[in-house]
Structure 1
Amino acid sequence: MMKYILLTLMFAGNLLAPVKAQSDTIAKWRDKFATLSGVPMISPYGNWISIHKTDKTDGNSSFVVSTKAPTKTVHKILHSRLVFLNEEGVLGQTGPNVEFLNLITGKTYKYDNIEKAYILEKLNRYALLTKDRQLRIYNTLGKELLDFTEVEGVLITDSKRKLFHKKENAGRSEIIEISGDKENVIYTTQNPIRKIELNASVKQLVIIETTTHDDRLVVLDVENAGKKLLEMDIPKKSMVELSPIQEGKSFLISARVVFTEEKDPIVEIWHGNDPYVNEHYKMFVHKKFWILNPKNSKLQEIKVPQNNEVNSLNNDRYFLTYLPRKGHNFITSEPELNEAKIYDLKLNTSTDLGNLKLVKRLAKEWPLLLNHEIFCSADGKWFLGSNDGGKWILYNCNGKKEALIERTDLEQPVFSKNGDYIYFESSNDLWSFNIQQQKLTALGIGKGKMTKIRNYISERDGYAMASYLPTEDLLAEVYDKENNIISYTLFQHGKWKQVIPPTENRLTNNSLMYDPDMKSFYTLEENFNLPPTLYSYNTRGQKHLLFDGNIKDNGVKKIRQKIYSYSAVGKNLSGILYYPVNFDPTKKHPMIVRIYDMQRHLSNGYLSPFKVMPEGSQIRTLLEQGYFVYLPDTTVGEMGPGLSALECVNNALDVVLKNPNIDHTKIGLCGQSYGGYKTNFISTHSNRFAAYVSGAGISDIITNFYSYSYVWNKPLYFIYNTVYQMGTTPAADKERYLKNNPILNVEKVNAPILLWAGKKDKNVPYTQTMEFYIGLRRYKKDVIALFYQNGDHSFPSGTLEEKDLSNKVLDWWDYFLKDKKNVRWIDQQIKKDNPS
């Protein structure tokens, strides 16, 4: 009888013994590497930058680097998350341990048993709350200035000069303000206080009290000695928001009561007309809205029909109102805005806007959508929306249409500070719309290139977002997608100036930093042959090394890369080929092909051994082990995602196999998630690969289309409009769904395939992998499946799952692409008819 093996993490030790030496060697090799990681942070005036260093040999730490030449001062601090105290100090906390580093003297002050650390920027002090509820305040020289005992409740701060906490005193609730050198009681009530918090502008303290019948909302002005701005009753158990309009000229106040239900222990009832479908925590049973003018404490209720929502347009007279999730059918990831209206508070009238749709936004891979339907100006005079998801309409704040902007490729809109212009990001230049002249103009800084604005402010309220520049300066990112080159251009004092010249380096974690005057710029850059490194740029765009972390990666310079061009599904595509570190031009080497979607943008990523990409087949390790690694673009044409991926991969192979050093008979294909689906599909339609590895991939797109996701908390219809780009339903186009469905051709797989999945994966259920395994098993194909008991959709670097998977995948490639022998867990499948 055929014997098949289902592999999990719980392997018997004797099965792992043959590969232990190799896996230990690789682990020790990886542990020697260090890299700069995380998101660098710049101090308020740009004098210092903090950056984390991941180092398994010497231990993880952070460095604070001076940006001012010629000092080049560097401080080390043993915490990963740092916050600057002006330009004089930096505060770091890991668990109960805190360090404060004085950047002027270089002295470090260490504390333990700390619950939380705070900065007080205006006072140039920091505060530490101990686990035994003592609050101590220090100056930048580490001198203790104040000590408050028995601090009760949650401690909140404006991070400027004040801290607040709640205290019970003789049957009364008090709000205590700690500022300067003293404690002040700024509010007292006989009612229990349910919640205190600072609003988004951190200038108002919001207090919610519990009374016999209702809750009570109290708002204090923390910048004016705790002056009471408002006191009123609100519905019981309300969630309260205080949203500033035009930087606090007025406030939109909302009180919403969340829907709660007792769950039946026997049955759940899911209704076919429910627009929430298991997202009832986003549903409100009672809502009330008001507008508050803080100057005269005038409060006016906004009266809209029951169950309607109200969002701010950054205007104290006109508001967006709508019935939440009206007509929501989950075709889009978020509900679209249907039957929207503009409510006029002064006249108590409404103006219909109709149905507004999400607009596509810039993406390197599949089509994505903007996060909001409506974008507002800073002064509240204008807003933008779209009826068709392509063209923008400019509206007056009262809901009157002012202009239809005919161009269809305009994306994220940003209003100028004075509200005279609207700038649009796009995949072809940066565009400017003159509101008075109603004229659209290309600015000519990125023709044919993707442009983004990097210095705008966004303030969200439901479906509306205020999107505007804080000054008349505009900093634009220009990305040449075809060549994977990025540059930055600044519009300042009426002129355009390139501040960072075009570079093939990647800005790690979008790490562009600058001082308040935008005179100096800083980046964390990397490339396939460059570990992450901090650089500075002066006003002339000249580049200088700032900090490299003393990273010693001698092997990185040996890595070679070549970009191949090809066409498929009517598009120009690219493939990245990495050469083996020990490349011998007189020999042929095996090659591993990794697929996902568009991958050209990955060509300038540092190939750190810590970077788990692709999952289970870490690129740097594969190069060290003598493999070519190829990352071709795959995209979706009219045929659908599977057939399109097949054409893309075949055409990508045709061009790369002109390289005489690639062994045509020793090529493996792998992918995870969306790449796992494509690997599954290609394995059922190709004879060009010697082996496959597929992780957490869809095997049946029809059952998946009709599935519910507990990660997204919604049906998965929307995935087939975005990621899979089918644009229709199985009912409307059965033939295309059937032709792109891997499971229907599972019997045609003709090379060994390794499947893996995490049993706790709620993104792509492991049952999709199980289905493919069962199908392959039914037709007696060579398949092994790894089901990780505690694995999720992806495995973080260094976890037991990641280590085990990486070792097994490397075994798999070595076995089938290098003819490695005697790997027992593979032999048990491959030698099933002739066991050793």
Structure 2
Amino acid sequence: MMRNAFKLIMLLTGFLLISAQQQVDTVDHWRAKFAHLSDFVYRSKNANWIGIRKLSKQHGDSVYVINTKSHTQTVYRIGNSQLTFLNEEGVLGKQGQKVIFLNLHTGKTSHFDNVIDVYTLEQHNRYGLLFNDHHLRVYDTFGKQLLEIPNVSNLTATDSKNTIYASKLYDGKSEIVETTGSQQKVLYQTINKIRKMSLSDSGKQLSIIETTQNNDQDRLVIFQAGNFQKKILELNIPKNAVVNFSTLKDGTSYLISARVAVETKKEPLVDVWYGNDPYVNEHFKMSSKRNFWIWHPKRNELQNIPVPESIEVGSINNDRYFLTYFPRRGYNFLTSEPELNAAQIYDLQLNSYTDIGDIKLAKRIGKEWPLLLNHSVYTSSDGKWFLASQDGIKWSLYHSDGRKVTVIEKKGLEQPVFSAKSDHIYFESSNGLWDFNIRLKKLTALDIGTGKLTKIKNYTLQIDGYTAISFLPTEKLLAEIYDRDENVISYQLFQYGNRYEIIPATKNRIDKLIYDPSMTSLYTVEENYNLPPALFSYDKQAKKTLLFDGDIKDNGAKKIKQEIYNYHAAGKNLSGILFYPANFDPKKIYPMIVRIYDMQRHLSNSYLSPNKIFPEGMQIRTLLERGYFVFLPDTTVGEKGPGLSALECVHNALDAVQNNPSIDQKKIGLCGQSYGGYKTNFIATHSDRFAAYISGAGISDFIGNFYSYSINWNKPLYFASNTFYQMGTNPADDKERYLKNNPILSVEKVNAPILLWAGRKDGNVPYTQTMEFYIGLRRYKKDVVALFYQNGDHSFPDGTPEQIDLSKKVLDWFDYFLLGKDDIAWIDKQIEKDAE
């Protein structure tokens, strides 16, 4: 039915079908037949049109544009493009340097080659294209060229509403021209080179930075955008400074900062690391010069903020009061980012400071990680209030001048969001939504999501370093309510004290939620373990309608059987997801593969696409087809520490499924990658319940990792012990617990074959951690094979040679030890009795 409704227009070609004859591996051939929709979507301004990508190995990826309001189901296919909507009139699709414009009313298309970038002019229903020949050309929605500007550099900006700004060379000078598409006007001319051009967040001001002949200074020039006015501000800044604009009070004023990074010598003879250096190889964050100004565009007033050179200035969305602090003062590296110690509020009018003390990072609970860190300071949209935490547990409310109003005496309040009028503060939590009335200083439960993880979906968050403006743009509040025990999600709309259920509780996974500005229509991308992703709509009465499923048929997914097992471990109630083998026969017994990481209950409704690859090469759907049970148990961290807690969790999970007569208890494999790799390493040194192991990119020396340096994170890994591994201590003060949770100290106890793998370019967990475990296993004559991928990082993207090779070896390893396929040469080489 839906196929007949498609108005498919082939706009880009060039994708080759991969024939069966070209396939060497039958698993790859089987996987290539499956397609699914991505959870990444595009939407037009009023959500009348939604673009979504269909992923297909066999036929190539394609993007479809769906009319959400049409009763005749209008769908266009627009190649494999990145989309940019032009109101509800058209859409630009860009793939490489090819661009297509699709008129959404007529269905007609215009094609362009050699395009560097695209720009929309919403108020004029026009679009601009910058070509390789450095010509900027502007077109209407029918593809008619309206204007052409030559000699344009790559420095081009647009407010997306009515003006494009472009830098060009003319007669040996740099020019800034502006155009609405019908005419062009020279806005500015200079003999200097323009090194940067950008619009403010509000789109009201255009700034350019010129490289002058002066060895000490460059020049910042600001124009009022969109109305052909002359420059309104000219300011000398330090040479090579990075300039940042922090919008205050919706663009009524700006905090301007100019920072010059500390110069470091390239490839010095010796890289000196000092024991008292708080930056620890993060010197790109250091500044040799800092300058701050407050600027009022309406009266064109610029005022210097005279703080000492060592102090950093942050916005609290106020043009009189500012957050000041010493960068990284007292950083103990136990948190992922430095906390704001000895923070102050600076009063520009009185040139005075108010101490607000040490500000801690507040914790946040997610679906998987139990500890995620928020920003330090949250401000209201009117700049009158800000929130901070002095203990990382409770929030304190402050006036913008730094005077503390009150401490909100409740634990577990997470992401704060100010109301549109800045008279209330809403808090997310794992126990529903909470409302703090600022005038009454009263906290009240909203009776939304009680007992469940509840988040606000429609708030605006404007991040600026350690501070963030967090507010609702309207009086409407859209709440997501998630039941972690049942893995069920729903959505409610809260307005003027009333609440409405707009998406009833569903066991489907909602990976994407889209809504129009009025929030009267909602659209979701939903899936389940036996349901491929599809696009749905919900109306005011919460009626659900299928909009688009990509004509994807997966009859095999409908037959997948799943069970949820509950158990208790590490002081918590946990769950495990058991998937049954394809074509399950209750008269037979099957081997089982256990995959661990952290909390995994939320994966029970994830679509089991054959092309969805876990980083460790494990592919659940393929394993089910090959005759395995696959078990995904939760693991958490209790008082014993991460390793011992994982052991308890996995053993109790195995006990929970032990009475299933179809599981061969002697043929169970365990695997994990990264955090799961550490847990696999530890369990392998303490358990006798597994016949084979696979561990990828995991830590083997827990204490050594604590004292290691991460290239990816650009910092010592002290903090990982207190975030991911939740130790809350250090080895010096807690030696016994660190020793008991260290896999390498019990490496001689591994009693089943283990496959190790790592990427030599892993900047997160050094491959030497895997090498150390391999050396230990070899020392005690254990059956081990280690795979070191020369170009591999921490995880391997799908389709890379590393991922393809690893996926095949993962199947080989489990087939060899759990299915008895003992004719695999690369494994035979290790298992042969006379092997050295």
Classify the TM-score, shorter chain. over 0.9
Preserved CA contact (<8 Å) 2:615 2:797: no
Residue of structure 2 equivalent to 1:265: 268
Q: In the TM superposition, what is the alpha-carbon distance from 1:170 to its structure 2 partner?
A: 3.3
Residue of structure 2 equivalent to 1:740: 741
- Whole-Å separation in 1 of the counterparts to 2:23 and 2:295: 68
Q: 1:819 to 1:180 in 2, by over 3 A?
A: closer
How many residue pairs were aligned? Answer: 814
- Whole-Å separation in 2 of the counterparts to 1:116 and 1:269: 43
- Whole-Å separation in 2 of the counterparts to 1:654 and 1:447: 32
Q: In the TM superposition, what is the alpha-carbon distance from 1:366 to its structure 2 partner?
A: 3.2
- Larger mean Cα displacement after TM superposition, 111-120 or 442-451: 111-120
Structure 2 residue aligned with 1:434, among 411, 434, 437? 437
Preserved CA contact (<8 Å) 1:414 1:469: yes
Preserved CA contact (<8 Å) 2:615 2:796: no
Answer yes or no: is 1:360 the counterpart of 2:353.
no
Answer yes or no: is 1:386 the counterpart of 2:401.
no
Preserved CA contact (<8 Å) 1:23 1:807: no
Preserved CA contact (<8 Å) 1:758 1:792: yes
Preserved CA contact (<8 Å) 1:113 1:131: yes
Residue of structure 2 equivalent to 1:452: 455
Residue of structure 1 equivalent to 2:568: 567
Written as runs of structure 1 = structure 2, the 5 A alignment for 1:388-427 is: 388-427=391-430
1:344-377 Cα shifts (integer Å, max 9, x gaps): 1111111001100000012223333333111000
Q: 1:366 to 1:799 in 2, by over 3 A?
A: same
- Whole-Å separation in 2 of the counterparts to 1:691 and 1:189: 70
Preserved CA contact (<8 Å) 1:594 1:614: no
- Larger mean Cα displacement after TM superposition, 72-81 or 204-213: 204-213
Equivalent AA in structure 1 for residue 181 of structure 2: G
- Whole-Å separation in 2 of the counterparts to 1:323 and 1:224: 41
Q: In the TM superposition, what is the alpha-carbon distance from 1:518 to its structure 2 partner?
A: 0.8
Q: In the TM superposition, what is the alpha-carbon distance from 1:231 to its structure 2 partner?
A: 1.1
Residue of structure 1 equivalent to 2:487: 484
1:424-474 Cα shifts (integer Å, max 9, x gaps): 000001000000100000001111101110011111222111100001111
Q: In the TM superposition, what is the alpha-carbon distance from 1:25 to its structure 2 partner?
A: 0.7
- Larger mean Cα displacement after TM superposition, 120-129 or 435-444: 120-129
Q: What secondary structure does 1:477 align onto?
A: strand
Residue of structure 2 equivalent to 1:514: 515
Residue of structure 2 equivalent to 1:195: 196
1:301-323 Cα shifts (integer Å, max 9, x gaps): 11112221111111111111111
Q: What secondary structure does 2:152 align onto?
A: coil
Residue of structure 2 equivalent to 1:475: 478
Q: What secondary structure does 1:470 align onto?
A: coil
Q: What secondary structure does 1:512 align onto?
A: strand
Q: What secondary structure does 2:105 align onto?
A: coil
Taking structure 1 as the reference length, what is the TM-score of the superposition?
A: 0.96
Structure 2 residue aligned with 1:237, among 240, 255, 262? 240
Preserved CA contact (<8 Å) 1:285 1:307: no
Equivalent AA in structure 2 for residue 340 of structure 1: A
Written as runs of structure 1 = structure 2, the 5 A alignment for 1:26-175 is: 26-175=27-176
Answer yes or no: is 1:311 the counterpart of 2:314.
yes
Q: In the TM superposition, what is the alpha-carbon distance from 1:729 to its structure 2 partner?
A: 0.8
Preserved CA contact (<8 Å) 2:755 2:784: yes
Answer yes or no: is 1:295 the counterpart of 2:298.
yes
Q: What secondary structure does 1:307 align onto?
A: coil
Equivalent AA in structure 2 for residue 710 of structure 1: I
Q: In the TM superposition, what is the alpha-carbon distance from 1:21 to its structure 2 partner?
A: 12
- Whole-Å separation in 2 of the counterparts to 1:294 and 1:533: 47
Moved over 6 A (4+): 20-23
Preserved CA contact (<8 Å) 2:615 2:795: no
Written as runs of structure 1 = structure 2, the 5 A alignment for 1:322-361 is: 322-361=325-364
Equivalent AA in structure 1 for residue 640 of structure 2: M
- In structure 1, runs of 5+ residues without a counterpart are 1-19
Answer yes or no: is 1:606 the counterpart of 2:611.
no
1:751-776 Cα shifts (integer Å, max 9, x gaps): 11111111111111111111111111
Residue of structure 1 equivalent to 2:209: 208
Q: What secondary structure does 1:546 align onto?
A: strand
Q: What secondary structure does 1:320 align onto?
A: strand
Q: In the TM superposition, what is the alpha-carbon distance from 1:69 to its structure 2 partner?
A: 4.0
- Whole-Å separation in 2 of the counterparts to 1:48 and 1:23: 41
- Whole-Å separation in 1 of the counterparts to 2:180 and 2:167: 15
1:130-155 Cα shifts (integer Å, max 9, x gaps): 11112221111112222222223422
Equivalent AA in structure 2 for residue 412 of structure 1: Q
Q: In the TM superposition, what is the alpha-carbon distance from 1:218 to its structure 2 partner?
A: 1.1
Q: In the TM superposition, what is the alpha-carbon distance from 1:552 to its structure 2 partner?
A: 1.4
Residue of structure 1 equivalent to 2:584: 583
- Whole-Å separation in 1 of the counterparts to 2:239 and 2:412: 47
1:329-358 Cα shifts (integer Å, max 9, x gaps): 211111111111001111111100110000
- Whole-Å separation in 2 of the counterparts to 1:656 and 1:770: 34
Q: What secondary structure does 2:155 align onto?
A: coil
Q: In the TM superposition, what is the alpha-carbon distance from 1:236 to its structure 2 partner?
A: 1.6
Equivalent AA in structure 2 for residue 561 of structure 1: Q
Q: What secondary structure does 1:152 align onto?
A: strand
- Larger mean Cα displacement after TM superposition, 150-159 or 409-418: 150-159
Taking structure 2 as the reference length, what is the TM-score of the superposition?
A: 0.96
Root-mean-square deviation over aligned CA pairs? 1.5
Residue of structure 1 equivalent to 2:186: 185
Preserved CA contact (<8 Å) 2:126 2:141: yes
1:26-74 Cα shifts (integer Å, max 9, x gaps): 0000000001014112211121110000112222110001111412100
Q: 1:240 to 1:22 in 2, by over 3 A?
A: closer
Residue of structure 2 equivalent to 1:227: 230
Q: In the TM superposition, what is the alpha-carbon distance from 1:229 to its structure 2 partner?
A: 2.1
Q: In the TM superposition, what is the alpha-carbon distance from 1:79 to its structure 2 partner?
A: 2.4
Preserved CA contact (<8 Å) 2:363 2:374: no
1:174-213 Cα shifts (integer Å, max 9, x gaps): 2111223112111123333332221222221111223314
Whose RCO is larger (CA < 8 A, sep 6+)? 1
- Whole-Å separation in 1 of the counterparts to 2:293 and 2:268: 40
- Whole-Å separation in 1 of the counterparts to 2:170 and 2:23: 66
Residue of structure 2 equivalent to 1:525: 526
- Whole-Å separation in 2 of the counterparts to 1:480 and 1:498: 15
Equivalent AA in structure 2 for residue 481 of structure 1: R
- Whole-Å separation in 1 of the counterparts to 2:528 and 2:164: 44
- Whole-Å separation in 2 of the counterparts to 1:678 and 1:834: 29
Equivalent AA in structure 2 for residue 304 of structure 1: V
Residue of structure 2 equivalent to 1:6: none
Preserved CA contact (<8 Å) 2:385 2:397: yes
- Whole-Å separation in 2 of the counterparts to 1:454 and 1:146: 41
Preserved CA contact (<8 Å) 2:88 2:104: yes
Q: What secondary structure does 2:73 align onto?
A: coil
- Whole-Å separation in 1 of the counterparts to 2:708 and 2:416: 35
Residue of structure 2 equivalent to 1:14: none
Q: 1:370 to 1:640 in 2, by over 3 A?
A: closer
Q: What secondary structure does 2:479 align onto?
A: strand
Q: What secondary structure does 2:782 align onto?
A: coil
Residue of structure 1 equivalent to 2:831: 830
Q: 1:153 to 1:364 in 2, by over 3 A?
A: closer
Q: In the TM superposition, what is the alpha-carbon distance from 1:795 to its structure 2 partner?
A: 1.1
1:657-682 Cα shifts (integer Å, max 9, x gaps): 11110001110001011111111111
Preserved CA contact (<8 Å) 1:199 1:241: no
Answer yes or no: is 1:283 the counterpart of 2:286.
yes
